[in-house]
Amino acid sequence: EVQLVESGGGLVQPGTSLRLSCAASGFTFDDHAMHWVRQVPGKGLEWVSGISWNSGITGYADSVKGRFTISRDNAKNFMYVQMDSLRPEDTALYYCARDKGSVFNWYFDLWGRGTLVTVS
Amino acid sequence: IQLTQSPSFLSASVGDRVTITCRASQGISSYVAWYQQKPGEAPKLLIFSTSTLQRGVPSRFSGSGSGTEFPLTISSLQPEDFATYYCQELDSYPPTFGGGTKVEIK
Distance (Å, whole) CA B104 – CA B32: 23
Which residues in chain A have their CB less than 8 angstroms from residue B98's CB?
A: 44
| B35:A112 CB<8 A | no
Digit-coded pLDDT (tens) for B19-55: 999 999 999 988 999 999 999 899 999 999 999 999 9
Calculate what percentage of chain B has a pLDDT beyond 70: 100
* pLDDT for the residue numbered B106: 86
Contacts of A1 (CB under 8 A, 6+ apart): A25, A26
Kindly identify which residue of chain A lies nearest to residue B4, measuring between CA atoms. Answer: A44
CA distance B37 to chain A (A): 11
Residue A42 pLDDT level (bands cut at 50, 70, 90): confident
Q: For all residues of chain A together, what is the average pLDDT?
A: 97
Q: Give the nearest chain A residue to B39 (CA atoms).
A: A42
Mean local confidence (pLDDT), A72-87: 98
From the list A20, A37, A21, A42, the residue with the least C-alpha distance to A86 is A20
Q: Is the peptide bond before B7 cis (omega within 30 degrees of 0)?
A: yes
pLDDT in tens, A20-30: 999 999 999 99
Amino acid A30: pLDDT: 94
Backbone angles phi, psi at B58, to 5 degrees: -60, 150
At B7 the pLDDT is: 97
User: pLDDT at position A37, please?
Assistant: 98
> CA dist A81 to A1, A49, A52, B90, Å?
24, 8, 14, 23
Query: Please, what is the average pLDDT of chain B?
Result: 95
Q: What is the pLDDT of residues A92-104, one digit of tens each?
A: 999 999 999 999 9
- Contact assessment for residue A111 and residue B43, using Cβ atoms and an 8 Å cutoff: yes
pLDDT of B29 reads: 86
Distance (Å) from the alpha carbon of B102 to chain A's nearest alpha carbon: 11
